[in-house]
A and B are shown apart, each in its own frame.
Chain A
Amino acid sequence: MNPLWLATRATGEISLVLFTVVTVMGIATTKGWASSRWPESVVTLLHRNISLLSVVFLGVHVSTTIIDAYVPIGWVDVVVPFIQPYRTLWVGLGTVAFDLTLAIIITSLLRRRMPQGLWKGIHWTSYLMWFVAVLHGLGSGSDQLLTRVVAAAMALAVVAAVVARFSTPHRQDDPVVSVKTRTEIPR
């Protein structure tokens, strides 16, 4: 089999797993999920470092796709979705995910130089990006059971994290602690 094609599929699979880990660690960061073995600083820094690793694998995945002459996907198709003929929708979704990833990574590297509201808004599209990436994997990967199992496992991980994220109170959400002992005038 075409080694470039294998590389594309393998790095695609690995990217998805890594981005899943990144997403879960991002949720862990904001919720303050930590322990003595995994202190907050480690969670935060791992989130950032693994995201860079994911981008590397994503970069290889994209490069092998372009170089591979078997499919008609070129440079432009990496950033402009839905204009090439091979599995237009599913590959296009990959392009969308890639665009979002670029935006997220670049804004995060330049975080200090931009309005925080803008950074936050773009960072929130990471949920969308991950979801689109999963669809891309399911639709444009071959019909292999392993792909589907991995995708399902990743989906489970993120869904569980998201549910936990929104259903548990925010780490500092306690209302202003009400004074429990009423001030009384003692006899």
Chain B
Amino acid sequence: MSGHIVSIDRIACDGFGTCAQLLPERVILDEWGYPIIDPTPVNGTERQHAKRAVNACPRLALRLEKAPHEAPAARPAAARGAGRR
């Protein structure tokens, strides 16, 4: 059963933080109030919470997208060499 992931438009995001309040399972805020999103797919009830978080964003910066088939990339560590995703 493939899940959905929360994806974000970084330019639209204005750091309101609504998402972190409604989906703390996947979203935490950095020191400047901007979301760090865990790319693990959401399933079951988590998906309901994710939908609410996506709809509640005042800038509509979030979307629920079908998870890609590969395992989500681990967040880059303190960068090695030229950072390219």
Give the size range of B's interface with the partner. 10 to 19
> 8 Å CB contacts to B: which residues of A31-63?
32, 39-41, 44-45
A111 to chain B, nearest CB (A): 7
Q: Which of B9-17, B36-44, B71-79 lies at the interface with chain A?
A: B9-17
Query: With A and B bound together, what is the CA distance between A111 and B58 in angstroms?
Result: 11
**Could you count the A-B residue pairs with CB atoms below 8 Å apart for me: how many are there?**
28
* A112 at interface by CB-CB < 8 Å: yes
Interface string of B43-67 (1 = CB under 8 A from A): 0000000000000101010000000
Identify 20 new A-B residue pairs, CB closer than 8 A, beyond the known A41-B56, A112-B60: A29-B58, A32-B16, A39-B21, A40-B17, A40-B21, A40-B58, A41-B17, A41-B18, A41-B21, A41-B22, A44-B16, A44-B18, A44-B56, A44-B58, A111-B60, A116-B60, A171-B14, A172-B14, A172-B15, A172-B33
Using a CB–CB cutoff of 8 Å, the interface residues on chain B facing chain A are 14-18, 21-22, 33, 56, 58, 60
